[in-house]
Amino acid sequence: MQTTLKAGSASANITPPLGTRIPGGFRPRYAENVDDELFAKAVVIDNGTTRIAIVTCDLIAIPEKIADAAKARIADRCDIPAAHVMVNATHTHTAVAISDLLGVDEDTEYTEWVPLKIADAVELAVWQLKPARVGFASVDEERITFNRRWHMKDGTVRFNPGIENPNLVKPTGTIDPEVAMMYVEATDDGTPISAVANFSLHYIGTDNGNALSADYFGHFDRLMRHYLGDTCISLLWNAASGQINNTDFSGRTKWTASGHQQAVKMANVLAGHFIVEKQLMEMHETLDLSGDLATLTFQRKEITAEDLEVAEQVLSVPQGTYDAYETGPFSWVVGEPIPQALVDVYAHECQRLAKLPTQMTAPVQVIRLGEAAIVALPGEVFVETGMNIKSKSDANPTFLVSLANGYIGYICTDKALTQEGGYETWAAKSSLPAVGTVPTMETLVASLLN
């Protein structure tokens, strides 16, 4: 019987053809160029009795149908059960439309094809399995992330409110500075197999919204290859970053770079931490491995008959001209009204949500790697939720991975939904869960961890 670990890594190119729709900007953009290719990157770890596969995709999100299709093929071709496979997205905003989201329609040809490539990455990693050792580390990096949700003098909460806006009061919350890391190398000669980092930072951005790019997540992979060699497949997992970005709206931290230049700088900060911690890690040649998958049942946001009437009125006039409101204009809007330029987008979202079941489900997963654990959640998790889950975990470290195995949008805290409002809370396929979802999810995660 195998007594030591084996591990392998591989990647599969998932770049779509030019002309594809790019999500993440409320209106369709179309790919005119490729700044850098998109990949599905996989690491497989095997202890002789259990095999775990983790796959990170350069996409804005992973709808459950994509994850499930990929997992079914992985189970068939690699004999790895779904509970032992995590598929997550980085959240790059310069990829491809994987669902009907905020004014951008799904590229159905792509979503039928990409599960095959995700599965390919895992199968190729299986072929690369070799004796390996694994190490973990965690450090804090407090200088490069900021909470983008701010209390304003008019009593509302706004996201991305403008740098040094005179109406700023204070951020609604904190950041999570933890950089959790996992390093995998061959036991015979120390050849790097994979470097995995986990950090709460939504994304950075690029220079051209019409050029496909993996954003700073891709730069991290290329930097780690530069430092450790091309055998090292590097994954950067987005942690609980629902309201965390790289812009200091107080104005105290002023960046001189932007776009790809800034993305490289921030990726290098994380890569630098990794190179240092790699020297100090305790490496393990044996690990207990396990994976558990559970179903989160939650209520979606309610769309009332009045909401649908307003939606019809909004969509009956030219885009951007509906102005018959001072608040809302929908029942689920708290605080800051939806901007006039975007109200038609949310009118469409009202109509979409009204057709969905009022009670919905999504996957929640915990993977154990010795003393470490991966908590994989199906959306954009607020930083408070991630920190709360980690504070109650006995794992060291706990990797909190957002946008994994499914996508239900922003998973907002009850306080955000009932008292604060703001963009992240607005009802859409990008923000499905209603009040009560976070406590239910935290309880479910705790049951899986313990």
Q: pLDDT digits over 28-39, tens only?
A: 999 999 999 999
Q: For residue 238, is pLDDT > 70?
A: yes
List Cα–Cα distances, 135 to 155, 277, 367, in angstroms.
Answer: 47, 10, 16
Give the residue from 73, 243, 279 showing the smallest Cα distance to 148. Answer: 243
The stretch 406-434 carries a mean pLDDT of 98
Contact 379, 408 (CB under 8 A): yes
Q: Which residues contact 63 (CB under 8 A, 6 or more apart)?
A: 98, 99, 111, 406, 407
Q: What is the pLDDT of residue 450?
A: 86
Residues 300-310, mean pLDDT to the nearest whole number: 98
User: 23, 45, 59, 383: which is closest to 199 by C-alpha?
Assistant: 383
CB within 8 Å of 158: residues ≥ 6 apart: 149, 150, 152, 336, 422, 423
Identify the residue whose tokens are 């599969």. 12
Instruction: Name the band, by pLDDT with cuts 50, 70 and 90, for residue 2.
Output: low
Q: If you average pLDDT over residues 128-133, what whole number do you get?
A: 98
Give the whole-angstrom CA distance, residue 147 versus residue 174.
Answer: 6
Q: How confident is the model at residue 141 (pLDDT cuts 50, 70, 90)?
A: very high
Backbone phi and psi for residue 6, each to the nearest 5 degrees, phi listed first: -125, 150
Q: Give the tens place of pLDDT for each residue, 164-211.
A: 999 999 999 999 999 999 999 999 999 999 999 999 999 999 999 999
Per-residue pLDDT, averaged over 106-112, amounts to 98
Average pLDDT, the chain: 97
Residue with tokens 């809007």: 333
- Residue-wise pLDDT for 4-30, tens only, equals 899 999 999 999 999 999 999 899 999
pLDDT tens digits, 308-338: 999 999 999 999 999 999 999 999 999 999 9
Q: Tell me the mean pLDDT in the region 352-364.
A: 98
Q: Around Cβ 159, how many Cβ atoms within 10 Å?
A: 18
The answer to whether 403 and 380 have CB atoms below 8 angstroms apart is yes
Question: What is the C-alpha separation between 210 and 96, in angstroms, rounded?
Answer: 11
Cis omega (within 30 of 0) on the bond before 23?
Answer: no
Q: What is the DSSP letter of 435?
A: T
* 51-74 pLDDT, tens digit each: 999 999 999 999 999 999 999 999
Amino acid code (one letter) for 439: P
Residue 1 has pLDDT above 50, yes or no: no
Residue 4, pLDDT score: 86
Do you find a cis peptide bond into 397, omega within 30 degrees of 0?
A: yes
The two beta strands, 359-369 and 289-299, are antiparallel
Residues 6+ apart with CB under 8 A from 91: 60, 61, 202, 203, 217, 238, 241, 380, 402, 403
Model pLDDT, residue 160: 97
pLDDT band at 3 (very low <50, low <70, confident <90, very high): low
Residue 124's φ and ψ, nearest 5 degrees, are: -65, -35
Can you tell me whether residue 3 is helix, strand or coil?
coil
CA–CA separation, 330 and 338 (whole Å): 9
pLDDT at 123 over 50: yes
